[in-house]
Amino acid sequence: MNRWYFLEIGLCVCAALSLAGCGKGVSAQTNLPGPTQSTVVPDMDPNNFQVDHPEQFPLATAVEYAAAPELNVTGVVNPDVSRQVPVPSLASGKIVEIDAKLGDEVPKGKILFKVRSSDIAGAFSDYRKAVKNEELTKVQLARAQTLYDNGAIARSLLEIAQNAEDNAKVDLETTQEHLHLLGSDPDHPTGIVEVPAPVAGVITDQEISIASGVQALTPPNPFTISDVSHVWILCDVYENDLAQVHLGEYADIRLNAFPDRVLRGRISNIGQIMDPNLRTAKVRLEVENPGLMRFGMFVTATFHGLSTEKHATVPATAILHLHDRNWVYQPLEGGRFRRAEVVAGNMLPDNRQEIVSGLKPGERVVANALVLQNTMEQ
């Protein structure tokens, strides 16, 4: 009996403890704090924002400016192909000496290279035979003249002798000219042919080296000489801008190496074939070279329009150059500002810059855009 009594007491104690633990769990759950209210801070819109003290940023008014439209394109200096002179080898043989190289500026008559050729031997042989034949026909003509004067031969035989002498002189002159053409002296023949520069200029192509072989009057030519007094500038003009380019007009040319020098070039050709990838056409400018331009130089060509257009101008400090674009800040109501993209043009006197599009004359902008930009970032 006592044993069952103590067992019942133990079960009651366990049940009481279990109920007490559940009560604490429920109380703990009911006492937990609820979800925290989060505050969302909106990010600043760089194109429309508000500042605390807008009076700290002085404003400037865009002024009207009338000028002819301009188109700036890039170009490369190239040789004038009509002024390029090839220098072929007049004799077939082996190159034994080279006296000039690619890029050299050479005067007219300078020896460029020498060729050892067997053509000289054949030409000198023909020359010596022509000399002997002319001497023989000359003696025969003198004899025939004497016999004709004494009535020993008919006049027809004298005419035949005269014709033979004339033909012999033609052969002699031809073989002599052949030796001169090969660069050899008939009185002192040699197997070495010297090739001089036919014109003055710069060597822009070289296709030979020591011990290489050449064929007479056969491409590729050993050298090419280009006249640098006049050059071509080839520019790439986009399809949408071709309406501003006209044959016969002039363009201003500025060299990247000499930005302070402005040259004038005439538009001599507008390519008829468009680049299928870039949608550009080649525009050729002919320019007289003052000695500054080198082949391969980069230039900037400015094409001027015929009619004037009205644009706006603002202080150069009012334009912010950001991410390869140009921006200005325009004031709104309530201390707000709006950032607007513009297309900037040329720099003008008094540290002002032309605005091609994006801003009209009379509109107001922040005079110092960089200061406002720095204030926003702080």
Give pLDDT, residue 357. 87
Q: Which CATH architecture has domain 49-69+308-377?
A: Beta Barrel (2.40)
Give pLDDT, residue 27. 44
Domains of the chain: which residue ranges?
49-69+308-377, 119-189
pLDDT digits (tens, 9 = 90+) for 333-377: 888 899 999 988 888 888 999 898 899 999 999 999 988 888 876
Q: What is the spatial distance between Cα 85 and Cα 202, in angstroms, rounded to a whole number?
A: 10
pLDDT averaged per 10 residues, the chain (length 378): 57 58 47 55 64 86 85 92 91 92 93 89 89 94 92 90 93 90 79 89 93 89 92 94 90 90 94 92 94 91 82 92 88 88 87 90 92 78
CB atoms within 10 A of CB 71: 18
Give pLDDT, residue 6. 56
**Strands of 105-106's sheet, edge to edge?**
84-87, 223-226, 201-206, 105-106
- 3-class secondary structure for 172-217? HHHHHHHHHHCCCECCECCCEEEEECCCCEEEEEECCCCCCEECCC
Q: What is the spatial distance between Cα 1 and Cα 18, in angstroms, rounded to a whole number?
A: 26
Q: What is the spatial distance between Cα 287 and Cα 233, in angstroms, rounded to a whole number?
A: 7
Q: Which CATH architecture has domain 119-189?
A: Orthogonal Bundle (1.10)
Q: What is the spatial distance between Cα 34 and Cα 80, in angstroms, rounded to a whole number?
A: 84
Contact predicate 66/308, CB 8 Å? yes
Closest CA to 264 of 276, 277, 253: 253
